[in-house]
Structure 1
Amino acid sequence: MPLGTTLRLLAKARGMNAADIATAIPRAGVATVSAWLQGDKLPGKDQLDALARTFGVPAGALLSELASTLDPARTQGEHDLLAAYRALNSSQQGALLEVASAMAGTKRSRAPRKKAAR
């Protein structure tokens, strides 16, 4: 999930708006925080640390998606495939993985199914 989306979800969960967040972030006004929430700008390291503290999450949790989007080993096709996969429901994701595994000639690892209670 993009950083802006993550920030919006965290803000909503805590009942915070851009002005509330801006008061907790050094050198960040409401316009800057709004740009982060919309995904138009990215916060700097100190600001990310302050955001993580504000929301009570590890900074790495905010950065995980950002780091994956900057991974030079991924092609644009891989990014597009991942974005498409994430837009699917769980049933569709499973079907897509089955097709991709079959095309690649690999076996897909499956999580063990839970046994029904007796």
Structure 2
Amino acid sequence: MSLDTTLRLLAKASGLSVADLATAIPRAGAATVSAWLRGEKLPGKDQLDALARAFGVPAGALLAELASTLDPARTQGEHDLLAAYRALNSRQQGALLEVAAGMAGTRRSAPPRTPRKRASKKAAR
């Protein structure tokens, strides 16, 4: 999720308006905050820290997706694959990983199994 989308969702969830955020962020007016929410500008480090405090989340949570999009080691195909993977449910993700591992000729480590509850002998009667 892009930074502007994250900021808009957090603002909506926390009930903070543009004016509320502007008063919580040093050296940021309502026009600047609006530009962040529209994705036209990016906040600086101090402003990100203040946004994180205003929303009650770690600053890294705001930047996680942004940092991954700036990773020069990832190709566009890798970004597309990751986005598709995240859209799947956990069973589908496991199947996709099995297919990818088979195509690459590698073995994927088996996910930890959840222990099943055994029925007691009384319940079986």
Deviation string, structure 1 residues 43-77 (Cα, Å, up to 9, x no partner): 11121111111112221222222111111111121
Q: State the partner residue of 2:52.
A: 52
Task: Quote the Cα distance in structure 2 between the aligned partners of 1:38 and 1:85.
Answer: 26
Are residues 4 and 103 of structure 1, via their aligned partners in 2, closer, same or farther at CA, if it must alter by over 3 Å? same
Are residues 69 and 16 of structure 1, via their aligned partners in 2, closer, same or farther at CA, if it must alter by over 3 Å? same
User: Where do 5+ consecutive residues of structure 2 fail to align?
Assistant: 119-125
**What is the TM-score normalised by the length of structure 2?**
0.78
Q: State the partner residue of 1:10.
A: 10
Runs of 4+ residues deviating >3 angstroms = none
User: Where do 5+ consecutive residues of structure 1 fail to align?
Assistant: none
Are residues 109 and 38 of structure 1, via their aligned partners in 2, closer, same or farther at CA, if it must alter by over 3 Å? farther
Task: Quote the Cα distance in structure 2 between the aligned partners of 1:3 and 1:12.
Answer: 14
Q: State the partner residue of 1:83.
A: 83
For the aligned residue pairs, the C-alpha RMSD in angstroms reads 1.9
Task: Quote the Cα distance in structure 1 between the aligned partners of 2:78 and 2:43.
Answer: 25
What are the within-5 Å matches in structure 2 for residues 1-118 of structure 1? 1-118=1-118
**What is the TM-score normalised by the length of structure 1?**
0.82
**Identical positions, percent:** 81
Are residues 92 and 35 of structure 1, via their aligned partners in 2, closer, same or farther at CA, if it must alter by over 3 Å? farther
